[in-house]
Amino acid sequence: MAEEEATTTDQQLRLFIERVERMEEEKKGISDDIRDIYSEAKSQGYDVKIMRQIVRLRKLKPEERKEMEMLIETYKAALGIG
């Protein structure tokens, strides 16, 4: 019985590992696709660095974004950056 449990446990572990490996491959593929999109945008004259910042901003909730923008303005004012 203990051997049977170990075999089941081993199989379950292998299945978890294989699922993670598949997801890692998919993640790599998606990362490559995103990189291609930015490359295409850059070739058409868009500023990729700014695009990445906009994507990060759009992930924030409106109140988080407003707070961050206020802090940036506060810090810029403190440093004399116009």
Over residues 32-57, the pLDDT tens digits come to: 999 999 999 999 999 999 999 999 99
Cα separation, 55 vs 57, in Å, equals 5
Query: Would you say residue 4 has pLDDT above 90?
Result: no
Cα separation, 24 vs 20, in Å, equals 6
Query: Phi/psi of residue 3, each to 5°?
Result: -65, -40
- Among 2-6, 7-11, 61-65, 74-78, which stretch is predicted with the lowest mean pLDDT? 2-6
Alpha helices (H) along the chain: 2-43, 48-59, 62-79
